[in-house]
Amino acid sequence: MTHRRFGLPAIVVFLPALLAAQTPATRGLLPVPQHVEWRSGRIALDTTFRIALVRVDPRLSAGAARFLDRLEHRSGVPLSHVIGRDTASATLVIDARRTGTAVPALEEDESYTLESSKDGIVLRSGTTVGALRGLETLLQLTEAGDHGWSVPAVRIEDAPRFAWRGLLLDVGRHFEPVEVIERTLDGMALVKLNVFHWHLSDDQGFRAESRRFPRLTRFGSDGQFYTQAQIREVVAYAGDRGIRVIPEFDMPGHATSWFAGYPQYASLRGKYSVQRQFGVHSAVFDPTSETVYRFLDLFVGEMAPLFPDRYWHIGGDEVEDAQWNASRHIRAFRRKHKLPDNRALQAYFNRRLATILRKHGKQMVGWDETLHPDLPKGTVVQSWRGPGFLLDAVHQGHPALLSAGYYLDHIDLAEDHYRVDPLPSDSGLSAEQRALVLGGEACMWSEHVGPETVESRIWPRLGAVAERLWSARSVTDVDDFYRRLAITSSGLEQLGIEQGAHPASMARRIAAPTDLPVVTGLLDLVQPATFGQRVRLQHTSQLTPLVRLIDAARPDPPARRVWKDVAMRVAHDPQDNGLAADSLRIAFQQWQRFSPAIESAASRSPLVDDGISAARTLGQLGVLGDDALARLLKGDKPDSVWTAAAKAQLDLARQPQGLLRLVVVDAVEVIVDAVKGSRPTT
């Protein structure tokens, strides 16, 4: 068994042709700037490269130093790390007119202009954060050529479309160490995201140290939590990169971990412990208790200085009201205060909580279940159940964020996220209402990720959300996006985010060394089951080891688009695409060899069992594809029996194969459709 039999050798020759076409308007830039004017010429990057700052600012100086480190690491060119003030002799002059706010803020000016010519590069911005965004663009502009590394002559005028561009990371269900958080922040800065939404509590864990209430982590964290010193470190690390940190402490539901140490604040008294099962649980704060509000006042008062951002997320989603219905005193409270239902009771809780937050200088953010006629004005509503809730929020005068369509844990394709716009052209909103749409956040919920796997689930697909929230609405070319995303993925790996190497890394633990080629070859052609499929098929809990092939597989592997593109070319004109047809034929024959090889590997490594079903179905696809391709090249029209059997086989192949999904079904379908007489239009 050799690697050539189970890798992707069939496209090694053909792949350069797929990637050769460039789009000069965007090159390797992601997100696409608002305005780009390419000019003739370029400036070489060599050992004479120097940076000068018009105004000295510690945060900008640190950002410029990081830029030099990354540029040197990328190019291999030894660079001077002295950042001076002599603009006359500098290669790159950075002119940030103001430092901006001490703490990154929603109103931060992130605009910049970048102009390069053979004489030098000038980066101008209104604030330090704008200059940091421009440095990321400049790094993306650097390219290698026949004469070494250089920056093309260009003028860029850029600013974000939305002010709030975020990533939620859930560390309640599975804890993530500080080094993972900081690498995530580095990646966010690369794609110009500016809000890190830190989901710090849930039924499965409470992750922030409270010195006033130490039982929160003593009984609610399994010993996995962030000390206050670590929280300050993360907030400072983010701030240096122009990223805001917004904490979320979920309440009144998703609150079991609060009550593990302080059961007296639950609606029903009893003994609580952190939940190992995922889902919606019954433990919920008692909204009628003045003791609860005194507790929350003290807790917020302790936490508020650790999180200097103006906004504070209360959660408020998926409140299970069984305890409220079961409590005699809560039912009596509702009657006394003329609260018609439990939604009104939750609105009462939110009003009380908003008052506490305002006392400590915070503005409330909540999930769309918090939306209610009595919700305090100014509360930001985050829509996760659908874009309609965002529209409802702005119609009621609330600032709003979109997360529906940006759930990375659902294992959707990057292009699925890319097509979701917080403000589509047909939104029907007035100018005043459109101004209330602050932006959006991608969400990485952690039922199915841990420190080893989380980065492979966030990246590189988060780049799709980043571009949608920064670039103009008109930037919608999916093919060009994927081309640039591959370049961005390489940049992420230079930051230490090894999402590209993740499948092979996990495969080395799953499979015997002699079986690695076949296992990694299979991983090239599959993606994980969706979130819902995994829950149903595996019945996961917090104790489920995340070490299987589903955890090694990538959500959106390149083979999906590559093989479909090859098939489209063949289907469009079989006679003029002989190399593509040969590539397909070799691939179809390779796929037929996977099943016995995976079964053999599974006899030595039990975790490979998860690939048997996928390998068998892949082999059947290979047989179908080989037959369809031969018919297409011969001009042999199939009968209705063959057509019906092919459709049934394709439908079956689209279903989960164990915990994996095949990504090459579309490629085979294109050839099958072509045999039936349907030619692709592009």
Active site residue ranges: 318
Q: What CA–CA distance (Å, rounded) separates 128 from 57? A: 8
Q: What is the largest CA-CA distance in the chain?
A: 82
Answer yes or no: are the C-beta atoms of 446 and 174 closer than 8 Å.
yes
Residues 6+ away with beta carbon under 8 Å from 226: 178, 200, 207, 208, 209, 234
| φ, ψ dihedrals at 415, nearest 5° | -70, -25
Q: Distance from first CA to last CA of the chain, Å, rounded? A: 38
Q: Supply the angle between the helices 578-591 and 559-572 in degrees, to the nearest 10.
A: 130
Using a 10 angstrom Cβ sphere, with 0-12 exposed, 13-18 middle and 19 or more buried, the burial of residue 498 is middle
Q: Which helix (H) or strand (E) holds 180?
A: helix 178-190
Give the C-alpha distances (Å, rounded to integers) separating 332 from 264, 324, 326: 19, 10, 11
Contact between residue 277 and residue 229 where contact means Cβ atoms under 8 Å apart: no
How far, in whole angstroms, is CA 24 from its chain's centroid? 27
Query: Which sign does the torsion angle of CA 266, 268, 272, 275 carry?
Result: negative
Between CA 49 and CA 90 the distance in angstroms is 7
DSSP-derived 3-state class of residue 498: coil
Return the amino acid letter for 12: V
**Nearest CA-CA partner of 603 in 507, 505, 504, 515:** 515
Interatomic CA distance for residues 184 and 191, integer angstroms = 11
Determine the Cα angle at 490 with ends 488 and 495, to 5°.
Answer: 95
Q: Which residues have CB under 8 Å from 32's CB, separation 6+?
A: 26, 467, 470, 471, 472, 475, 484
CB burial of 49-73 (b: ≥16 within 10 Å; e: otherwise) equals bbbbbbeebebbeebbebbbebbbe
Concatenating the DSSP letter of every residue in 397-438 gives T--EEE-TT-BGGG---HHHHHT--SS-TT----HHHHTTEE
Closest CA to 406 of 443, 372, 452: 443
Q: How many other C-beta atoms lie within 10 A of the C-beta of residue 501?
A: 11
**Number of neighbouring beta carbons within 10 Å of residue 119:** 10
